[in-house]
Structure 1
Amino acid sequence: MDPSPAAPSPPQPPGQCRNWLELPRDVTESILLRLGAIEILTSAQKVCLLWRNICKDPSMWRAVDMRNPGDFWDMPYDLETMCRHAVDRSCGQLVDINVEYFGTDELLNYIADCSSRLRRLRLVSCHSISEEGLSEAAAKLPLLEELNISYCSYWSLTKEPLEVVGRCCPLLKSLKLNSKGHRRPYIECDEEALAIAENMPELRQLQVFGNKLTNDGLLAILDGCPHLESLDLRQCFNVNLTGNLGRRCAEQIKHLRFPTDPTDDIEIHDNGSSDEDCPSGFSDIDYFSDDYGYYEFSGDSDYSYYGDIIDYGDFYFD
C-alpha cells in the first residue's frame, strides 16, 4: 500500500519572509541560471557565501549571456573584462555565448581559444570585429552549430570570412546574417549568398534579413543547401518570389518569410538611428540623400568604450 501523501507545510505567520538559503541547491542554481552574466557578476554572487560558491561553479557558465543595452557611456562596467572572466569560470565547458555591442577581435579569439566546444556563437552589433578576426576565430571552432553575426558591420561582409566559416565549421546548421534593410539605392550583391551556397551544405536555418542578394543568389542557396528548412528573407528587396522561384521555395522550404513580411518579432539593431518615421524597420534616406549624396549609414559609428576595471564587490575572488 502506498504511503499517505505528506501533509502540506503549515502557512507562514504573517510578516515572516521565506529563507531563500533553505532552498535545495539545484533549485537555487536554476533560479540563478535565469540571470544574465552581467547580473550574476555584479549582483547575485554578492548576496551570500552560498550564492557566491554556486556562481563560481563551471556548470553555471556553460552558457554566457552578455546582452546589454549598448549605452556604454552610462555603464560603470568594463564588459570585455567581465566577459573574459565569465569565459574563465566555464573552465572549458562553454558551449553558448551571446555578445552584444562590445565584441572585439581580441575578445572573440580569446573566447575561441578557451572554448573549443562552443556550439552557439551570437555576435550582435559588434562593429569592432573584423573579417580577419572572424576568420581566425572560426578556424578554432570545429563544433560550431549556430552562428549569428548580425549588424556587425556598416558594410556587407566579403565572401572570404563566410568561406572560412563554412570550411572550418562543417557542423553549422543555423546562420543569421542580418543587416538593416533599405529600398534605395538599388544595390545588388550575391557574394554572401554564393559563399553560403558553396560552403554551408548542412544549413537547416538561414536568416538574411535586409540582405542585397538577388534571385540568382537565392537560387544558388536553394541548390547548395539541400537540407534548408527555414529561410527568412524579410527586407531582401532585390528578391522577387514569383513564378518558378516562388514555387521552388514553397516546395523546398517549410518555414519561409517573404521580403515584405512584418518585422514585429525581430529586434533591428540600428545603433542610434531613429525609425520613428519608418515603422516597417527600413529607411529610404539612410542610404541616399538628394542633398548630401551617398551614405552607408547615418549617425556616429564609434562605439568603443574603455571603462574602469570592474569592481565585483566583497565576494569577488579568483
Structure 2
Amino acid sequence: MGESSELRRWDEMIPDALGLIFSYLSLQDVLTVVPRVCKSWGGAVAGPYCWQEIDIEEWCERSKPELISRMLQLLIPRSSGSIRRLSVSSLPNDPIFRYIANHVSSLQTLEMPRSEISDPIVEEVAGKFSNVTFLDVSYCVKIGARALEAFGKHCKALVGLKRVMHPVEVAEKVCQDDEAHAIASTMPKLKHIEIAYLLLTNVGILDILSQCRELRFLDIRGCWDVKLKENFLKEKYSGLKVLGPLIVDSYEMNYWDECSNYSDSSGYLSWEFMDDVVGEYYDGFSDDDDDDGAWDDGQGLEGLEVRFYGGGFNGGSAGFDWPTSP
C-alpha cells in the first residue's frame, strides 16, 4: 500500500472527531475562522458536535446586553438539544432565560452569574432544568428564596450550588436565612455549596447542615453572623470542609481589580453586530417572544464582526467604557 493511501485527510475526519478538536479553539476561531477552511469543517461547527458545551461567560462580561441574547439564539440551536453545559453571564432579561429553558432539555451544568432574571420566571420554567446537577446563580440580585426553592424542587440530582453575592448587593437586606431554608428543604443531595456573603445566621447554616447530609464543602466567607465553633463542626460534621466566615479575601481589598475572573493582559475581544447587516439575518427577538427569532445558522455569522483592541482588559472599566473602533 502506497504512502499516500495511508495518510488521512483532515477534511475527511468524522464530524464528532472534528468537534472534539475544535472544542480546544477559542470561540472566535470556531465561529469565524474554522467555517472558512473547508466545507466539511464548516459543517462540523454548524452541527451539534462543537456545541455540547457552550462557555461564553467571559465574552458576556465584555458585551452589550442585547448581543448576549442574539449570541445565545445563534449557538443554542446548533446543539440540537444535546447541550450538556451552558456557561453565560449577565443574561439581560426573563425572555432569554425562557428561551434557554425551552432548548436545553439535556443540560447538566448551568452557570449564569450576574443575570437579570426574576423569581416568577424561575418558578415558571425550572421544571425544564430537571437534569441539572450544578447550578451557579451568583450575583443574581433579582432572585431569592422562591427561585432557589423552584430550582431545588425540580433539579432532584443537584449536587453543586454556587450562590455567592457581593457585600454591596446585600447591604440593604436584613437576613437571608429564607434562602438557606430553601436550599436545605429542597436540595438534600448537595455536596458542594458556595454561599459567601449571604446575610445568614447560625439558624440558616444549621438548617443546611441538618438536611444536606452528603455535604462535603461549604463556603460561608463573609457570613459574619454565623458563629459556629470549630470543635462543634469537627465533632458533628467531620467530613465537611468549611471555608469562612472569618477569612479576609479580595472583597476586602478591591472587588473589580482582584476578584474578576475575566482579566486579560493581552487586549480584549469585542463582538459587534452591524445594524445594516444584522437586519438581513436577524428575525427580531423581543421581550415578548419565547422561541421565535432564532438565527439562520447558514448565514447568521455574516452579521458578526470581530475586532481586537490593544491596551488590555481592565476589570475596573469592564462593561462601562467601550473603546473607539480602529
Task: Confirm or deny a common fold (TM above 0.5).
Answer: yes
Q: Distance in 2 between matches of 1:69 and 1:113?
A: 21
* SS class of match (2:149): helix
Task: Give the gaps of 5 or more residues in structure 1.
Answer: 1-6, 8-19, 269-273, 282-304
The answer to whether the aligner puts 1:237 opposite 2:224 as a matched pair is yes
1:181 counterpart residue number: 167
TM-score when normalising by structure 2: 0.68
The answer to whether the aligner puts 1:216 opposite 2:207 as a matched pair is no
* CA spacing shift, 1:133–1:146, aligned 2, 3 Å: same
Task: Give the gaps of 5 or more residues in structure 2.
Answer: 4-8, 260-271, 283-296, 301-326
* 2:44 maps to amino acid: I
2:39 counterpart residue number: 49
Q: 1:111 aligns with which of 100, 104, 114?
A: 100
1:71 counterpart residue number: 62
Matched ranges for 1:191-210 at <5 A: 191-210=178-197
Q: Deviations over 1:187-232 (max 9, x none)?
A: 4331100111111111111110211111111000000111111111
* CA spacing shift, 1:142–1:43, aligned 2, 3 Å: same
* CA spacing shift, 1:193–1:173, aligned 2, 3 Å: same
The answer as to whether partners of 2:11 and 2:38 remain within 8 angstroms in 1 is no
* CA spacing shift, 1:54–1:306, aligned 2, 3 Å: closer
In the TM superposition, what is the alpha-carbon distance from 1:151 to its structure 2 partner? 0.9
* CA spacing shift, 1:38–1:239, aligned 2, 3 Å: farther
* 1:231 maps to amino acid: L
By percentage of residues, which structure has more helix?
Answer: 2
Q: How many residues align?
A: 262
Q: Distance in 2 between matches of 1:277 and 1:171?
A: 33
Q: 1:40 aligns with which of 23, 30, 43?
A: 30
* 2:62 maps to amino acid: D
Percent sequence identity is 26
Q: Which has the larger radius of gyration?
A: 1
2:150 counterpart residue number: 164
Q: Distance in 2 between matches of 1:170 and 1:205?
A: 15
In the TM superposition, what is the alpha-carbon distance from 1:248 to its structure 2 partner? 5.0
The answer as to whether partners of 2:36 and 2:42 remain within 8 angstroms in 1 is yes
Q: Distance in 2 between matches of 1:249 and 1:278?
A: 38
The answer to whether the aligner puts 1:93 opposite 2:82 as a matched pair is yes
Q: Deviations over 1:2-61 (max 9, x none)?
A: xxxxx9xxxxxxxxxxxx957955664333102455552344334443321110221221
User: How much is the aligned-residue C-alpha RMSD, in angstroms?
Assistant: 3.6
Q: 2:51 aligns with which of 34, 42, 61?
A: 61
Q: 1:29 aligns with which of 19, 22, 36?
A: 19
